[in-house]
């Protein structure tokens, strides 16, 4: 209809002439160093399934199971769905709303109100079929800014989900390495226990034969009891780690098959992590991206609040057919239509609009502070992880040398004791020190691997190139240039 064509033309004119009152967004310029200390810059990307770099098939299966069944991740995904729906509602306000309605009625009026000679019927019928259209012209960018804010809130929520996913993967890997370390420590404890049980048996025979004093026998029995006490400690810690891993995997209890020799932790690969410029790396972390999307949304909300100073202009109209005879409803003689323009402007609301603008600015400054802090925390995380990775490697290498030296010392002390050149206390002391060194070496290996996980997590997991990141953002409906690059 002509009225609808006129309304469409006005809509197009409104869209063309629309402006925005939101401040121009530019990412804050943060004075971060050009490169992390003691690293080599690299432009390579880290694959999305970065955990496979550790080269353990059991670990790969556990991570995939956690991604499929973890409830924290499921809740985060549900929050993304909610945010996407909210963004869709905000976007729908940019388009005209068109409805169709039809009705039919039969009405009788009182005889005192009806003129018998008028030719009208009483009771009478009424039928109508109408299409309605309503649209608010977005001259001031209020709706577009509200849509942009909702869209960036959705993207912030998606980055929050990615952060939950990254934390989950890191926790699964670290807990798995804890289990492997406990496997090794338990195997060491049980092997040492068997050795000391045999030592007590031999010392008992020597004591009964009168070759040694009761002091030597009591010292051997004391070391045996001390070693026995360590086994249940590691068994308890292992059960707690298995239960934690079960929760991460979305299971109700259960254990993980890992082998029984306790040396699997030494078969785990120690992947190299390419580290580039912090200004590029840190900006790709999910928590930093989430903070920036929230800041972009808050910036857009300032424009929404400012637009309240200006009038709202809305187009409304309807068109269709109306008749008292259903058979003649859709004819040229029964068509009806109406087109109208409405303007709404608040004249007196003391300070309300200004307070809303102040609120929007306050929220923006909060998100700005959160973004800056997220960058600061990210930089500290990466720096800490780099130091931890380097120092834990040195510690593990030192523990390797200590274990080798302690083993030699124990063997020599046993030879000296058997030759009658030293007391049994020297043998027990050498055994005790070897036992502790072996346990510390297993813990050092766990810390070495955990430091690599910490570094992957600090870098945001899979390290995307700039092109990969932009492609992912486009798939989510975000234009990369909106981030002020």
The model's pLDDT over 82-134, given as tens digits with 9 standing for 90+, comes to: 998 988 888 888 888 888 888 888 777 776 666 665 656 767 788 888 888 88
392-422 burial code (b ≥16 CB/10 A, e <16): bbebbeebeebbeebeebbeebbeebeeeeb
Give the whole-angstrom CA distance, residue 388 versus residue 377. Answer: 16
Could you tell me if 153 and 294 are in contact, meaning their C-beta atoms sit under 8 angstroms apart?
Answer: yes
**CA 317, 319, 320 angle in degrees (round to 5)?**
160
Could you tell me if 32 and 379 are in contact, meaning their C-beta atoms sit under 8 angstroms apart?
Answer: yes
Contacts 24+ apart (CB under 8 A), 344-348: 344/311, 344/312, 344/314, 345/310, 345/311, 345/312, 346/308
- End-to-end, the C-alpha distance of the chain in Å comes to 46
Structural domains in the chain (count): 1
Kindly state the greatest CA–CA separation across the chain.
141
Could you tell me if 336 and 141 are in contact, meaning their C-beta atoms sit under 8 angstroms apart?
Answer: no
Chain center to CA of 435? 41
User: 209 in a domain, yes or no?
Assistant: yes
User: 135 in a domain, yes or no?
Assistant: yes
User: 397 in a domain, yes or no?
Assistant: yes
What ranges in 44-141 are assigned the alpha helix state H?
57-69, 71-92
User: 342 in a domain, yes or no?
Assistant: yes
Query: Tens of pLDDT along the chain (485 residues)?
Result: 444 444 444 445 444 445 667 888 888 877 666 666 555 545 456 678 899 999 999 999 999 999 999 999 999 999 999 998 988 888 888 888 888 888 888 777 776 666 665 656 767 788 888 888 888 888 788 888 888 889 999 999 999 999 999 999 999 999 999 999 999 999 999 999 999 999 899 889 988 888 888 988 898 899 899 999 999 999 999 999 999 999 999 988 777 777 665 678 888 988 877 655 556 677 788 999 899 999 999 999 898 888 888 888 888 888 878 877 677 777 767 778 888 888 888 887 788 888 989 999 999 999 999 999 998 898 889 889 889 999 999 999 999 999 999 999 999 999 998 888 888 888 888 999 999 999 999 999 999 999 999 988 988 887 666 666 666 566 555 555 455 44
Could you tell me if 148 and 297 are in contact, meaning their C-beta atoms sit under 8 angstroms apart?
Answer: yes
pTM score of the predicted model: 0.82
User: 192 in a domain, yes or no?
Assistant: yes
User: 485 in a domain, yes or no?
Assistant: no
Expressed as residue numbers, the domain containing 423 is 2-106+123-478
User: 112 in a domain, yes or no?
Assistant: no
Which uninterrupted H or E stretch holds 339?
strand 335-344
158: domain CATH number?
A: 1.20.1600.10
DSSP bridge partners of 336: 320
Give the whole-angstrom CA distance, residue 396 versus residue 409. Answer: 20
User: 115 in a domain, yes or no?
Assistant: no
């Amino acid at each position: 209809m002509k009225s609808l064509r006129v309304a469409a033309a006005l809509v197009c004119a409104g869209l063309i002439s629309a402006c925005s009152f939101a401040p121009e967004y530019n990412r804050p310029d943060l004075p971060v160093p050009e490169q992390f200390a003691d690293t080599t810059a690299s432009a390579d990307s880290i694959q999305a399934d970065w955990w496979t770099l550790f080269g353990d098939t059991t670990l790969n299966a556990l991570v995939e199971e956690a991604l499929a069944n973890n409830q924290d991740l499921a809740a985060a995904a549900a929050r993304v769905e909610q945010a996407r729906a909210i963004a869709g509602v905000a976007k729908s306000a940019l388009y005209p709303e068109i409805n169709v309605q039809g009705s039919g009625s039969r009405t009788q009026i009182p005889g005192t109100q009806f003129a018998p000679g008028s030719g009208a019927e009483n009771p009478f019928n009424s039928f109508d079929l109408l299409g309605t259209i309503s649209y608010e012209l977005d001259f001031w960018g209020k709706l577009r800014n509200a849509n942009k804010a909702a869209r960036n809130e959705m993207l912030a929520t998606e980055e929050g989900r990615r952060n939950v996913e990254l934390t989950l993967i890191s926790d699964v890997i670290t807990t798995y390495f804890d289990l492997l370390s406990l496997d090794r420590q338990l195997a060491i404890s049980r092997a040492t226990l068997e050795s000391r049980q045999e030592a007590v048996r031999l010392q008992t025979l020597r004591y009964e034969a009168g070759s040694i004093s009761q002091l030597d026998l009591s010292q051997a029995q004391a070391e045996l009891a001390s070693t026995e006490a360590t086994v249940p400690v590691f068994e308890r810690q292992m059960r707690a780690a298995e239960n934690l891993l079960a929760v991460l995997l979305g299971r109700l209890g259960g254990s993980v098959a890992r082998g029984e020799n306790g040396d699997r932790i030494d078969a785990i690969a120690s992947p190299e992590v390419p580290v580039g410029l912090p200004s590029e790396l840190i900006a790709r972390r999910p928590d930093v991206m989430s903070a920036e999307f929230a800041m972009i949304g808050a910036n857009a909300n300032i424009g929404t609040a400012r637009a309240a100073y200006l009038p709202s202009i809305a187009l409304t109209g309807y068109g269709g057919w109306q008749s008292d005879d259903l058979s003649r409803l859709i004819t040229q003689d029964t068509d009806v239509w109406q087109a109208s323009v409405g303007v709404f402007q608040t004249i007196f609301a003391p300070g309300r609009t200004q307070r809303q603008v102040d609120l929007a600015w306050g929220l923006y400054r909060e998100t700005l502070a959160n973004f800056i802090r997220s960058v600061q925390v990210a930089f500290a995380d990466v720096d800490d992880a780099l130091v931890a990775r380097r120092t834990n490697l040195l510690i593990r290498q030192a523990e390797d040398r200590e274990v080798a030296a302690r083993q030699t010392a124990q063997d020599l002390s046993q030879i000296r004791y058997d030759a009658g050149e030293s007391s049994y206390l020297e043998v027990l002391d050498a055994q005790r020190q070897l036992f502790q060194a072996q346990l510390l070496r297993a813990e050092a290996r766990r810390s070495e691997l955990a430091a690599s996980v910490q570094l992957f997590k600090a870098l945001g997991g899979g390290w995307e190139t700039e092109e990969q990141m932009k492609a992912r953002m486009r798939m989510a409906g975000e234009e990369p240039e909106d981030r002020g690059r």
